[in-house]
Chain A
Amino acid sequence: MEAVEQYKHERMEQAARVIRKSQLALQRQRYSILTKTGLYAVALLFLGVSLFPIYLIVTASLKNDVQIFARPPVFLFSPTFKSYHDVLLVRSLSQVRFIVNSLIATILATAIAVGFGSMAAYGLARFEFKGRKDLAFWILSTRMAPPIAFIVPMFVLIKSIGLLDTWWALVIMYTGMNLSFSVWILRGFFMDIPPELEESALVDGYTRWQVFTRIALPLVKPGLAAVAVFASIFSWNEFLFALILTQQNAKTIPIGITGFSSSMGIHWGPFMAVGFIAILPILIFTFLMQKYLVRGLTFGAVK
């Protein structure tokens, strides 16, 4: 046992040494001014390419129709909120219902995936029981088949339950798809917690549940954040099952957006407005989770 711990300790020390060395190398200005300028230029270019579409969307959503199509393109203009007004308040164009549906489906699916997923992951990580490995693999296997293979059976199933065109259907689908991801990632995080920490708490007087909520969960916050972000991005953007399983009432934003490119031409202003509204919640959420996220992505890798 000690030999394993010693080995782990040594490997971590080795890794830390390598990281420190490379950090020092970068600091020591081994790169010439020319190389540095080049690197920054490339970075700026990359940033620009990534952010340009968002810039386009935001500015277009604030322009009137004339300004959108102006040649040369108009960079300085007085913004108008007419597009947003149309999209949110004008009945025929209103996207509010779609936004609400998306929010409900995403929040619920993410919450259940994180909540129940963490409990399942903890059970798989900590308890010994028959069929444990098989269960873990089965959970992973649910992500191995392409979802498109299931759209017909799922449609029939949901219809027969009577949940077609309700957000329940979406929550069920999205939770199912998020859970396996959640369990698999969090299991790794829970397994990284030294068991002595929990054992010490058990000896000191905590029940298993208290150990889970007060010790294990706080220690896997990066994992929880990572799972929450991925699950919410996936649920928010999901198009295929939203298209199949909803008709009128439960349509989500991705479906709503496609409505803007109809056979009668594209309503650019409102289109851009709803596009920006579609991105916004995820942008905000990811920005808030950011400090946990980077740590979360690399943490599980140092096994």
Chain B
Amino acid sequence: MADVRLEKVWKVYGGVVEAVRELDLECRNKEFLCLLGPSGCGKSSTLRMIAGLENVTRGDVYIGSRKVTSVAPKDRDIAMVFENYALYPHLTVYENIAMPLRVRNMSKSEVDRKVRYAAEVLHITDLLGRRVVRLGGGQKQRVGIGRAIVRNPSVFLMDEPISHLEAQLRAQMRVELKRLHIEVEATTIYVTHDQLEAMALADRIAVMNLGELQQLGTPSELFDRPVNQFVAGFIGTPPMNFLSCELAALGDQLFAQGSGFRILLPEATRRRLLGSKASGRMQLGIRPLDLAVAKAEGSQTPVAATTFVYEPQGESCQVTVQIDGQLLSIEADGDFVTEAGEAAWIGFKSDKLHLFDSVTGANLVL
């Protein structure tokens, strides 16, 4: 096992397209690190540079204490699991898993022992004799993972391995991967665009957008203290709400004021903002779960709004309201019932408010 370090890594395609920009990243020994971001953010390019399948335009990659920037993939002591399984079509499951060992001229008995061990860990021992073309998606991916673990490499690299599976199977595989990581204790770097997957699996998540690292932190750090509006909006389901507003001071109280609402900001936030030069338009962020909704005005629900959409979801419900043209999504208790057009009153949990600069997107309160 080893740690992985990227130092000031750039990836530029054709001299023009900057897929990865000055990336500094570290994955600690035995850590499960997720590279998370929307399509085209550079996460796959980063993974492939770590694997050696893409050349690094600028910067260096280290695995353990070795600089591997110009080392061939096969000499980096890594194993990779691909999105499309990448299994050898007409070989059996056994042959596929044995392949990386056979290339290294291991003895037949050794190969057999390791293949069977990997198959056991992944519950595919009874599939060993079968041809790969006859397997379903989930089974194929297990074979792919088996082929990776059989070599016991320093680092595991996974490129969206379960994104092609159906929802139920994906949830199952998520559990399997987590269990595997606990059992095998391997340094793993995992690429995904699904934030739920990242939050469930990772020790730390590196959120990327447009080639740049947005934030590197634990799932709870990213959830509670997002460093900018992109991270705030990307992490968490349902996604965070954003309202355009401005700061307004009244006496020694500070408010976030927008069309149709004025919300008192907590004392700690006020002190923070006083020191900075923050002014002008900003975005107020609040998660659906941190909003309260009622049919009448109350001390907990001071802001007037109109129901836009009501979605019952059994134990809970999702209410979308409109405050002077801006939409707000609220997650409420299942027994709250309303319908489009009805009046609703909203309350904001003061300690869960986020403020982001309208231009840079930076979190102004952190």
Question: Which residue numbers of A lie inside 8 Å of B, CB to CB?
Answer: 1-3, 5, 194, 196-197, 199-207, 210, 215, 219
Contact, CB under 8 Å: A203 / B163: no
| CA of A194 to CA of B160, assembled, Å | 16
13 pairs of residues in contact across A and B, judged by CB atoms under 8 Å: A1-B39, A2-B83, A3-B39, A5-B83, A196-B84, A199-B51, A200-B86, A200-B147, A203-B79, A204-B74, A204-B151, A205-B104, A219-B89
Closest-by-CB residue of B relative to A201 is: B99
Number of A-B contacts defined by CB within 8 Å: 60
Return the CB mask of B95-110 against A: 1 if under 8 Å, else 0.
Answer: 0000110011000000
Closest to A5 in B: B84
**Contact between A199 and B39, CB atoms less than 8 A apart:** no
B103's contact among A1, A5, A206, by CB below 8 Å, is which?
A206
Interface of A is mostly: helix
Q: B202 on the interface (CB 8 Å rule)?
A: no
Chain B contacts for A205, CB-based, 8 A: 74, 100, 103-104
Q: Is the CB of B53 within 8 A of A204?
A: no
Q: Are B84 and A204 in contact (CB under 8 A)?
A: no
Proximity bits, B34-73, A CB within 8 Å = 1, else 0:
0000010000100000011100000000000000000011
Question: Which residue of chain A lies nearest to B81 when distances are taken between CB atoms in the complex?
Answer: A200
Given A203-B80, A204-B103, A196:B86 Cβ within 8 A? yes
B78 at the interface (CB under 8 A from A): yes
When distances are taken between beta carbons in the complex, the residues of chain B under 8 Å from A5 are: 83-84
CB distance from B36 to the nearest CB of A (A): 15
In whole angstroms, what is the CA distance A2 to B162 when docked?
A: 12
> Residue on B with the closest CB to A9?
B164
* Shortest Cβ distance from residue B247 to the other chain A in the assembled complex, whole angstroms: 41
Give the residues in chain B near A202, CB-CB below 8 Å.
Answer: 52-53, 72-74
Chain A residues in 8 Å Cβ range of B88: 197, 215
How many Å lie between the Cα of A1 and that of B151 in the bound state? 29
Closest residue on chain A to residue B75 by CB atoms? A205
| Chain A residue nearest to B104 in the complex (CB) | A205
Task: Return chain B residues, CB-CB under 8 Å to A1.
Answer: 39, 44
Complex CA gap A1/B83 in Å reads: 11
**Chain B residues within CB distance 8 Å of chain A:** 39, 44, 51-53, 72-74, 78-80, 82-86, 88-89, 99-100, 103-104, 147, 151, 160, 163, 193
Expressed in whole angstroms, the Cα–Cα distance for A200 and B52 within the complex equals: 11
Contact residues in A for B79 (Cβ distance below 8 Å): 203-204
**Given A1-B39, A2-B39, A199-B53, is A204 in contact with B99 using a C-beta cutoff of 8 Å?**
yes
- Cα A3 to Cα B40 in complex, Å, equals 11
Q: Cβ of A207: which chain B residues have Cβ within 8 Å of it?
A: 74
B163 to A: closest C-beta gap in Å: 7
Q: How far is the CB of A192 from chain B (nearest CB, A)?
A: 13
The 4 A-B residue pairs with the shortest CB-CB distance in the complex, in nearest-first order: A204-B100, A196-B86, A205-B103, A200-B86
Q: Please indicate the chain B residues that have their CB under 8 angstroms from the CB of A201 in the complex.
A: 99
Q: Specify which of B39, B83, B147, B193 is in contact with A204 (CB 8 Å cutoff).
A: B147
Known: A1-B39, A1-B44, A204-B147. A199 touches B103 (CB 8 A): no
Bound CA–CA A204/B157 (angstroms): 12
Would A203 and B78 count as touching, CB distance under 8 A? yes
Please indicate the chain B residues that have their CB under 8 angstroms from the CB of A199 in the complex. Answer: 51, 53, 73, 80, 82, 86
A219 nearest CB neighbor, chain B only: B89
Residues of A within 8 A of B99 (CB): 201, 204
Closest chain-A Cβ to B53's Cβ sits at a distance in Å of 5
Residue of B nearest to A205 (CB): B103
Q: How far is the CA of A219 from the CA of B88 in the complex (A)?
A: 10
Q: Which residue of B lies closest to A210 (CB)?
A: B103
What residues of chain A lie closer than 8 Å to B84, measured between beta carbons? Answer: 5, 194, 196
Residues of A near B39 (CB, < 8 A) are 1-3
Q: Which residue of B lies closest to A194 (CB)?
A: B84
Residues of A within 8 A of B52 (CB): 202-203
Chain B residues with CB below 8 A from A2, complex form: 39, 83, 160, 163, 193
Chain B residues with CB below 8 A from A219, complex form: 89
Distance between Cα atoms of A203 and B104 in the complex (Å): 12
In the bound complex, how far is the Cα of B102 from the Cα of A205, in angstroms?
9
Given the complex of chains A and B, what is the CA–CA distance between A276 and B33 in angstroms?
Answer: 70
Question: Which residue of the partner chain B has the closest CB to A200?
Answer: B86
The distance in angstroms between the C-alpha atoms of A268 and B196, with both chains bound, is 83
* Separation of A247 and B116 alpha carbons in the complex (Å): 67
Verify A196–B83 contact, CB threshold 8 A. yes
